[in-house]
């Protein structure tokens, strides 16, 4: 076929023109994906590989009286059946969670949520393994479950975690931040105080690829190879070493292509451990791949915060203080993946983008008989919940003051000259310039015209809503002195090696789940060292091939690993400069870097390219005094602060008054993620996050009935947006670089997931203003909107 | 039981269990792992392949039902080493991120263009509405299909003039 250029599509072609550095560039990973040659965990087929399937609890809370595996063991093709009791003999029935709690690999005493792992079968193929599950007889004594977090702390509530010595209630932790007394003082004297109860329901990341693993233990080498769906291969390897006793250097964790992650692939799941045990016991490679229902009912959920928000202000709209009280549902085991000192993640940024006098939050977390997890679904460590709270309560204030929500926000923004800005909860925002971002979003949306249109429509009885949210995120965890996961400091390594012919390989500790690291990181190195991205191989996702680091979540890759990549490239460039000085016979100080080569200052004719230098570094002949051969460097980057991207989102909805169906007509997203590396990839990340937002705001909820049955256990019941529920996205940007990041980039992966739900809910509530509605809880399904229109409260979760 | 079918222009005969799903036949038996398995309930569409030129969800088709039929998968989209315009469109317009839904999406979109060479945005959205993408938010997929449509039309025009 002939490829032709269409002027209409020139914006899609500007990429390959640019040999190095930042800008739109087609992705290096795409040629394999469009050919169906991605390599995902379930694509791994090893000689003699067996298949593992897990028997799960049908009950939310029950004592396990007995497990009879005899019929399953006799089933055709079955090689192994393992129960919790068998694991307990080996000391493997429990494993640590990422929050210093423990979680059952296979239940020994009780099951504590529906879908909990009870036994596993290893068989010759997937179908034989599933057949045998049906033959395992488990005798349960069903107990009363705790499903509603509000029930968990009642004195007569059943005790869920009787496995924990001395545990007498379902309490996980209490946490507070800010100044309670100062906040109370501001509230006591404020003109206006608005309070609202706001629920962020339990949702699920549901990546298209479910979780799974292939374990291959070689008893002769004593080496475990584990292909698994993990966003944090190095952290997983360390934990496997600690739990299993297999020495860390004998464990290789390989995270191949991941079919999405969104936080779902941060925790270690019992299935991974079962696959390892299965391989050790059978001496064969063992594959475990969960199905969609298993993914939805047992792996890391997100949110599940019941929040009371309060805001204090002057009558003319000056926001003075925000206070919140949160009840957090952590499920049956505290599996939250948050830095140890931050049990509520970065929820402390609930003060938003506003210059406050005081703020205070008190949080209580509880166990319930629901799946464990807690931080997942592109949330930047609970910032999703924090941003939803502040942006919803600010809109409630606008409602109360009868003030335009855009005007209210503009009036209260932290001003550019206040940065770095320390919030009343102790977070130091690195940089920001909020008003231009907000104004651009309003211009793109045609805000004034939209308000006029709305007025006309209201007069005709039509329901149109305009919703705004303005967010500031905190991403890129460390620094390591404050932030660690199970003692592992949140820093990331990077290695760069330039080969003799000037081609390079860069090795990362983070792991892409679709974000395009193979492209972005090649561009970062290219920008710094002048080797074209096409000549830079990005290696990631294999612990034997890459330096240690904490992995990809919380939008960490660009803020942390991206900084590491830039700095390691500068280190290589410094060495190249010394070698170049020898080649050109001038002093180092007489050389200047012109992207791709060093040239003698004032004499452009005398220069050497990075490729020439690379060959010299490996070649015959002398190098300058004290310089070793080769051209490579490594670094471990420890961020000095988080980065704080921001954005302004405007959503326009229409609601059918007859059916209460919400239609998102338009969505304008203006993001400021600092320096932009590849605008195409940034836009893609934002589009995806906005779609998540539509799902959470209007469709998605992992609900339970009173017995603890999960009502969102398939994609027929757990609704994810399709192409018909979302509009054509309108995106814009401003650029406020991070002052401490070497290239000024801030990270963007979760911005839209964080920022969009409040914009959508604010739009729906705005549309319902004629009905006197000030708040309605997500997901705003037709029945909930219908209830809100009739003055009925949203039913409890 | 024995099944014989044509997969990507090659006839294959295999002994299988009657209950084997087409998606597992393609992936586990033929090692054509470009077709993915995502939900079991026909909701996500990562498993879309063609049976006799029509997109089907291979997680809800038995391999036995494909006996005697022609099956085409993502591995059979490129012809003579040349990428199909739909594959090029997805690369040019960032129609994919993690790549997991991409093969199914492309099979549906290729089938759409075969029937309707100049679809509107709304028609493209309708065509892919039985499939889920968790990464892209769909706008870039719509652009990718439009890219393919425009480039195919231009290429056809060139052939006519030549």
3-class secondary structure for A369-400? CCCCEECCCCCCCCHHHHHHHHHHHHHHHHHH
**How near does any CA of chain B get to the CA of A4, in Å?**
6
Let me know: does A637 contact A564? Beta carbons within 8 Å: yes
Residues 74-93 of B with CB under 8 A from A: 74-75, 77-78, 82-83, 85, 87-88, 90-93
Residues A358 and A429 in one domain: yes
Give the pLDDT score at B16. 98
Identity of the residue in B38, B74, B97 whose CB atom sits nearest the CB atom of A514: B97
How far away is chain A from the Cα of B161, in angstroms, using its nearest Cα?
Answer: 13
pLDDT of residue A4: 35
Residues A35, A39, A40, A46: is their CA dihedral positive or negative? positive
Whether A513 and chain B come into contact, CB under 8 Å, resolves to yes
Please state, in angstroms and rounded to a whole number, the distance separating the CA atoms of residues A75 and A86: 19
A289 & A306 share domain:
no
**d(CA B89, nearest CA chain A) in Å:** 10
Q: Is A726 at the interface with chain B, CB within 8 A? A: yes
Q: Is A714 on the interface with B (CB under 8 A)?
A: yes
ipTM above 0.90, yes or no: yes
With a cut of 50, list the residues of chain A below it in pLDDT: 1-17
Distance from CA of A740 to the nearest CA of B (A): 29
The whole-angstrom distance between B153's CA and the closest CA on chain A is 10
> CB count, 10 Å around CB of A541?
26
Instruction: Kindly list the residues from chain B whose CB atom is less than 8 angstroms away from the CB atom of residue A726.
Output: 137-139
- What's the pLDDT score for residue A401? 98
Contact map slice: B 101-160 vs A, CB within 8 A: 101-103, 106, 121, 124-126, 128-143, 147, 150-152, 154-155, 158-159
Nearest to B44 among A42, A43, A208 (CB): A208
- In chain A, residues with a C-beta closer than 8 Å to the C-beta of B152 are 1
| A35 touches B at CB < 8 Å | yes
A716–B contact, CB cutoff 8 A: yes
Q: Of the candidates B19, B96, B150, which has its C-beta nearest A9's C-beta?
A: B150
Residues 6+ apart with CB under 8 A from A267: A97, A98, A299, A300, A335, A337, A373
B37, B98, B150: residue with CB nearest A42: B37
Are the CB atoms for A506 and A496 separated by under 8 Å?
Answer: yes
CB contact under 8 A, B134 and A688: yes
Domain with CATH 3.10.20.30 in chain B: 2-76
- B109 vs chain A: nearest CA distance in angstroms? 13
Q: Which residues does A539 contact at the CB level (< 8 Å), separation at least 6?
A: A505, A506, A507, A508, A545, A546
Asked if A317 has any chain B CB less than 8 Å from its own CB, the reply is: no
Nearest to B134 among A36, A208, A716 (CB): A208
- Residues of A whose CB is below 8 A from B156: none
B41/A292 Cβ within 8 A: yes
Instruction: Determine contact: B19 vs chain A, CB below 8 A.
Output: yes
Each residue's pLDDT tens digit, A148-157 = 999 999 999 9
Answer yes or no: do B137 and A726 touch at CB < 8 A.
Answer: yes
CATH number for the domain whose boundaries are B2-76: 3.10.20.30
Q: Which of A3, A36, A127 sits opposite B75 (nearest CB)?
A: A36
Query: What is the dihedral sign for C-alpha A365, A366, A367, A369?
Result: negative
pLDDT value at residue A8: 37
Q: Do A714 and B147 touch (CB under 8 A)?
A: no
In a domain, A194, yes or no: no
Min Cα distance A472 → chain B (Å) is: 22
Let me know whether A415 and A550 are in one domain: no
In a mutational test of the A interface, the residue from B7, B27, B97 whose CB has the highest number of chain A CBs within 10 Å is: B97
Contact present, A474 and A738 (Cβ < 8 Å): no
Can you name the residues that pair with A468 across neighbouring β-strands? Answer: A650
By the 8 A CB rule, do B107 and B46 touch?
no
Residues 53 to 72 of B: which have CB under 8 A from any A CB? none
* CB A664, CB A692: distance < 8 Å: no
Enumerate the residues of chain A whose CB falls inside 8 A of the CB of residue B98.
207-209, 257-260, 513-514
Give A-chain residues touching B147 at CB under 8 angstroms.
9, 12
Closest approach of A721 to chain B, Cα-based (Å): 7
For residue A532, give the CATH number of its domain.
Answer: 3.30.365.10
**Nearest alpha-carbon partner for A56 in A37, A84, A80:** A84
Instruction: For residue B73, list chain A residues with Cβ-Cβ distance below 8 A.
Output: 36
Task: Say what the pLDDT of residue A373 is.
Answer: 81
A26 interaction partners in chain B (CB closer than 8 Å): 91-92
A182 assigned to some structural domain = no
State the smallest CA–CA distance between residue A333 and chain B in angstroms: 26
Instruction: Kindly report the nearest CA distance between residue B68 and chain A, in angstroms.
Output: 24
Interface test with B, best of A293, A516, A723, A751 (most B CBs within 10 A): A723
* Among A602, A637, A672, residue at a domain's last position: A637
Q: Is B97 on the interface with A (CB under 8 A)?
A: yes
Average model confidence (pLDDT) across chain B: 97
Residues with Cβ within 8 Å of residue A540, at least 6 apart in sequence: A507, A508, A509, A510, A511, A512, A517, A518, A521, A546
CA of residue A578 relative to chain centroid, distance: 41
- Tell me: do A558 and A625 sit in the same domain: yes
Nearest CA in chain B to A514: B98
Examine the domain organization and report whether A335 and A247 are in the same domain: no
Among the partner residues A3, A720, A724, nearest to B125 by beta-carbon distance:
A724
Q: Judge whether A277 lies within some domain.
A: yes
A671 has a chain B CB within 8 A of its CB: no
> In chain A, which residue's Cα lies nearest the Cα of B159?
A2
Q: Which regions of chain B carry the CATH code 1.10.150.120?
A: 85-161
Residue B1 has pLDDT above 90, yes or no: yes
Model confidence at B40: pLDDT above 90: no
- Positive or negative, the CA dihedral A279, A280, A281, A283 is positive
Residues A544 and A498 in one domain: yes
| Cβ contact, residue pair A34, B90, below 8 Å | yes
Domain of A609 in residue numbering reads as 491-637
- In a shared domain, residues A725 and A771: yes
Within a domain: A349 = yes
Q: Distance, in angstroms, between B150 CA and closest chain A CA?
A: 8
Q: In chain B, whose CA is at the least distance from the CA of A750? A: B135
Last-in-domain residue among A637, A670, A693: A637
The reply to whether residue A715 touches residue B136, judged by beta carbons under 8 angstroms, is no
Given CB atoms, is A729 within the 8 Å cutoff of chain B? Answer: yes
**In-domain check, residue A156:** no
User: Quick one: A289 and A305 in the same domain?
Assistant: no
Q: Give domain status of residue A186, yes or no.
A: no
Interface residue A23 vs chain B (CB under 8 A) = no
B contact test, residue of A24, A204, A208 with most B CBs within 10 A: A208
- Long-range contacts of A432-437, Cβ-Cβ distance < 8 Å, separation of 24 or more: A432/A353, A432/A472, A432/A644, A432/A646, A432/A672, A432/A736, A433/A672, A433/A734, A433/A736, A434/A353, A434/A470, A434/A646, A434/A648, A435/A410, A436/A734, A437/A470, A437/A646, A437/A647, A437/A648, A437/A670, A437/A672, A437/A734
Cβ <8 Å between B99 and A30: yes
Instruction: Indicate whether A214 belongs to any domain.
Output: yes
- Per-residue pLDDT at A21: 85
Let me know whether A682 and A739 are in one domain: yes
Number of domains chain A is built from: 3
> Residue B155 — left, alpha, or beta (φ > 0 → left; ψ -120 to 50 → alpha)?
alpha
Q: How far apart are CA A327 and CA A454, in angstroms?
A: 37
Residues A117 and A239 placed together within one structural domain of the fold: yes
Q: What is the pLDDT of residue A775?
A: 96
Q: Among the three residues A606, A637, A668, which one is the final residue of a domain in this structure?
A: A637
User: Is A34 within a domain?
Assistant: no
Domain with residue A233: its CATH number is 3.90.1170.50
Whether A651 and A668 map to the same domain: the answer is yes
Query: A371 with A432, same domain?
Result: yes
Q: What is the dihedral of CA B127, B130, B133, B138, to 10 degrees?
A: 30
Tell me which CATH code domain B85-161 carries: 1.10.150.120
């Amino acid at each position: 076929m002939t490829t032709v250029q269409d002027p209409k599509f020139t914006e899609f072609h500007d990429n390959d023109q640019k040999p190095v550095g930042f800008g739109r560039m087609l992705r290096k990973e795409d040629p394999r994906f469009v050919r169906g040659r991605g390599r995902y965990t379930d694509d791994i087929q090893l000689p003699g590989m067996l298949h593992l399937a897990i028997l799960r609890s049908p009950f939310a809370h029950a004592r396990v009286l007995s497990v009879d595996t005899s019929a399953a063991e006799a089933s055709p093709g079955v090689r192994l059946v393992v129960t919790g009791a068998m694991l307990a003999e080996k000391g493997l029935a429990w494993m640590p969670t990422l929050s210093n709690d423990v979680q059952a690999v296979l239940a020994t005493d009780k099951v504590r949520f529906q879908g909990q792992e009870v036994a596993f079968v290893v068989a010759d193929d997937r179908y034989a393994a599933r057949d045998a599950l049906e033959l395992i007889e488990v005798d349960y004594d069903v107990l009363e479950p705790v499903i509603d977090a509000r029930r968990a702390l009642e004195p007569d509530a059943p005790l869920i975690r009787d496995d924990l010595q001395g545990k007498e209630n379902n309490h996980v932790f209490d946490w507070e931040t800010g100044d309670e007394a100062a906040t109370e003082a501001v509230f006591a004297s404020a003109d206006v105080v608005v309070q609202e109860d706001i629920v962020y329901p339990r949702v699920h990341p549901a990546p298209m690829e479910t979780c799974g693993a292939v374990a291959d233990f070689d008893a002769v080498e004593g080496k475990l190879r584990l292909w698994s769906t993990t966003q944090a291969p190095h952290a997983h390897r360390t934990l496997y070493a600690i739990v299993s006793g297999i020495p860390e250097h004998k464990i290789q964790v390989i995270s191949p292509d991941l079919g999405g992650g969104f936080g779902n692939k941060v925790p270690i799941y019992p299935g991974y451990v079962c696959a390892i045990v299965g391989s050790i016991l059978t001496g064969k490679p063992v594959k475990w791949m969960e199905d969609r229902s298993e993914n939805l009912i047992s792996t890391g959920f997100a949110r599940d915060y019941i929040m009371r928000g309060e805001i204090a202000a002057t009558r003319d709209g000056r926001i003075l203080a925000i206070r919140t009280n949160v009840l957090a549902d952590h499920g049956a085991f505290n599996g939250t993946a948050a830095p140890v000192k931050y049990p509520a993640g970065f929820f402390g940024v609930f003060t938003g983008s506003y210059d406050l006098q005081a703020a205070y939050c008190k949080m209580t977390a509880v166990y319930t008989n629901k799946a464990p997890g807690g931080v997942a679904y592109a949330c930047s460590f609970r910032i999703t919940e924090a941003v939803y709270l502040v942006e919803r309560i600010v809109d409630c204030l606008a409602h109360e003051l009868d003030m335009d929500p855009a005007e209210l926000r503009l009036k209260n923004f932290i001003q550019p000259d206040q940065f770095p800005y320390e919030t009343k909860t102790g977070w130091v925002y690195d940089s920001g310039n909020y008003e231009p971002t907000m104004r651009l979003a309003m211009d793109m949306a045609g805000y004034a015209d939209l308000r006029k249109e709305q007025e006309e429509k209201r007069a005709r009885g039509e329901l149109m809503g305009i919703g705004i949210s303005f967010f500031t995120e905190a991403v890129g965890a460390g620094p390591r002195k404050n932030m660690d996961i199970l003692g592992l400091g949140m820093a990331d390594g990077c290695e760069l090696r330039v080969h003799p012919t000037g081609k390079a390989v860069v090795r990362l500790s983070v792991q892409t789940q679709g974000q395009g690291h193979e492209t972005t990181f090649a561009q970062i190195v290219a920008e710094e060292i002048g080797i074209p991205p096409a000549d830079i191989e990005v290696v990631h996702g294999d612990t034997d091939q890459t330096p240690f680091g904490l992995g990809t979540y919380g939008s960490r890759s660009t803020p942390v690993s991206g900084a590491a990549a830039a700095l390691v490239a500068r280190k290589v460039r410094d060495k190249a400069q010394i070698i170049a000085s020898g080649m050109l016979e001038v002093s180092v100080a007489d050389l200047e870097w012109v992207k791709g080569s060093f040239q003698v200052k004032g004499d452009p004719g005398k220069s050497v390219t990075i490729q020439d230098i690379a060959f010299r570094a490996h070649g015959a002949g002398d190098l300058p005094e004290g310089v070793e051969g080769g051209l490579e460097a490594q670094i471990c980057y420890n961020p000095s602060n988080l980065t704080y991207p921001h954005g302004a989102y405007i959503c326009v909805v229409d609601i059918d008054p007859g059916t209460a169906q919400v239609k998102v007509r338009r969505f304008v997203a203006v993001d400021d993620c600092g320096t932009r590396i590849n605008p195409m990839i940034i836009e893609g990340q934002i589009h995806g996050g906005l779609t998540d937002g539509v799902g959470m705001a209007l469709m998605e909820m992992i609900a339970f009935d009173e017995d603890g049955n999960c009502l969102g256990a398939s994609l027929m019941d757990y609704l994810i947006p399709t192409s018909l529920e979302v509009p054509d996205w309108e995106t814009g940007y401003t650029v406020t670089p991070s002052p401490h990041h070497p290239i000024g980039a801030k990270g963007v992966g979760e911005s839209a997931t964080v920022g969009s739900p409040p914009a959508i809910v604010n739009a729906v509530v705005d549309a319902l203003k004629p009905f006197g509605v000030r708040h309605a809880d997500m997901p705003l399904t037709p029945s909930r909107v219908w209830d809100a229109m009739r003055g009925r409260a949203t039913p409890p979760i | 039981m024995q099944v014989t079918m044509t997969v990507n222009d090659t006839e294959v005969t295999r002994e299988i269990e009657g209950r084997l799903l087409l998606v597992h036949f393609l992936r586990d038996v033929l090692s054509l792992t470009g077709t993915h398995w995502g939900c079991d309930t026909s909701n996500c569409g990562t498993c879309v392949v063609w049976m006799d030129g029509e997109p089907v969800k291979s997680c809800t088709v038995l391999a036995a039902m494909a006996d005697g039929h022609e099956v085409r998968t993502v591995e059979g989209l490129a012809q003579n080493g040349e990428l199909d315009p739909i594959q090029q469109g997805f690369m040019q317009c960032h129609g994919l991120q993690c790549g997991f839904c991409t093969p199914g999406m492309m099979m549906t979109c290729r089938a759409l263009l075969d029937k309707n060479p100049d679809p509107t945005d709304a028609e493209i959205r309708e065509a892919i509405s039985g499939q889920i993408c968790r990464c892209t938010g769909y706008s870039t997929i719509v652009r990718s299909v439009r890219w393919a449509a425009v480039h195919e039309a231009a290429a056809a025009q060139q052939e006519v003039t030549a």
